[in-house]
Amino acid sequence: MIQLTVTPKTSLADQPVKIHVSGLAPGLLVTLQSSLTDERGITFQARALYRADEAGQVDFEKAAALGGDYAGVWPMGLFWFLKPEKLFQRLIKKDVMGSPFQVRIDLFDSFLLMPQVQTEPVASCTVERWYVTPGTQRIPIKEGRVRGTLFLPPGPGPFPGVIDMFGGAGGLIEFRASLLASRGFAVLAVAFFAYDDLPLVLKEVDLEYFEEATNLLLKHPKVRGPGIGVIGVSQGGMVVLSMATFLEQVVAAVWINGASCMYGPSLRYRDIYIPAVPYIPERLIITEMGALDNYHVFGDPRDPAHAASAIPVEKAKGEVLFVVGEADRNFNSKLFAELAIERMKKHGKKNYTLLSYPGAGHLIEPPGSPLCSISVIRGNPKPVHWGGEPEAHAKAQEHSWEEIIKFLKLHLGSSGTGNL
């Protein structure tokens, strides 16, 4: 009897599962397919071809996919290599509390590159991929000027506090914050433009807004001080570096593919003003896929004319973790990280760590998120090219996520909250 098992059937989206097939004829070529439909109704799928071993089994921990959406030994390949049926779509969980992603795994006992609706699988199962542990609280925040969502782990606390933010798309994105809360952190997902009554466009980073968010988080009775961590990608990374530089409450900062100087928006904090390096829009490249490659639109941060735009990160008292995708096509993130580290070294500082991943693109996210190399974002006339090679990017996401968790726990402490 043919059996397809996936264990556990219920798990957090950043946790691995084990896939095993038994009862096949030895040497049989089979197709395995995963599929999920997001909250917008967009379907994501991945498929791979395997050959049963002498015992009639396919063990994803050992078996190498022969082809399909990936090849080689990838125990989580059916999750990490999901692709949207509609081009240029990014998989983002919006309702992190109310429902999981339901991922269906189908087994076909033949070579099927594109299974048809009428093609019946010989075995199927559905697994749930959640973004919160049971008992996690989600609290909308609209206090003073601060807009966002606070996630609290189950239990009495107090918990180490983290502020989480994303980048140039604006709005409020919660899936990383909820996963971090499931690891035992009290996490405030912060919006800073294009959300609620916040400005529609980010023209200037008002660091006092983020200072207000920091103080709001620290005064919560379930948050353990005296310091917090911050994590951000892209423009959010630029804000993270600014917070680490100027706010003494920030003791651990995770910068993911950001900038080390002000690009686009300028920065203002009390009597401090940092001007922005100007964009050079005529350097935009439209790729063969019709996406915008922004890699060359930023002025050279090494130009002496832009010296005043550098973030003086040498002033940071806390630890900074730089996470770089070397195939990033949105920023020259590797250069920005190197310039920041060089600046810190010149001032005798050693409070930095660099994780640099060849082949990884701009959107380095928790490992439950498949590579998104191109996607549409709010405010852009064409999709944006983020870069990344699928296999290298998948490895980078798996490794960097665990390193980020370890970094935050090391410098903030751990509450010991368990997972699903």
Reduce the secondary structure of 216-276 to three states and give it as a string: HHHCCCCEEEEEEEEEEECHHHHHHHHHHHHCCCEEEEEEECCCCECECCEEEECCEEECC
pLDDT band at 115 (very low <50, low <70, confident <90, very high): low
Express each pLDDT in 323-356 by its tens digit. Answer: 999 999 999 999 999 999 999 999 999 999 999 9
pTM above 0.85, yes or no: yes
| Residues 412-419, mean pLDDT to the nearest whole number | 59
Express each pLDDT in 135-173 by its tens digit. Answer: 999 999 999 999 999 999 999 999 999 999 999 889 999
Express each pLDDT in 178-227 by its tens digit. Answer: 999 999 999 999 999 999 999 999 999 999 999 999 999 999 999 999 99
Is the model's pLDDT at 309 over the cut of 70? yes
Give CATH for domain 137-412: 3.40.50.1820
Which residues are marked as active site? 234, 328, 362
In the prediction, which pLDDT does 419 show? 39
| Residues 91-115, mean pLDDT to the nearest whole number | 94
Q: Tell me the β-bridge partners of 224.
A: 160
196-202, long-range: CB within 8 Å, 24+ apart, which pairs? Answer: 196/142, 196/147, 197/147, 198/147, 200/170, 201/379, 202/168, 202/170, 202/235, 202/264, 202/265
pLDDT band at 416 (very low <50, low <70, confident <90, very high): very low
> Which segments of the chain belong to CATH 3.40.50.1820?
137-412
Look over the chain and give the mean of its residue pLDDT values, rounded to a whole number.
96
Is the model's pLDDT at 320 over the cut of 60? yes
Could you say which architecture CATH assigns to the domain 3-130? Sandwich (2.60)
> Which segments of the chain belong to CATH 2.60.40.2240?
3-130
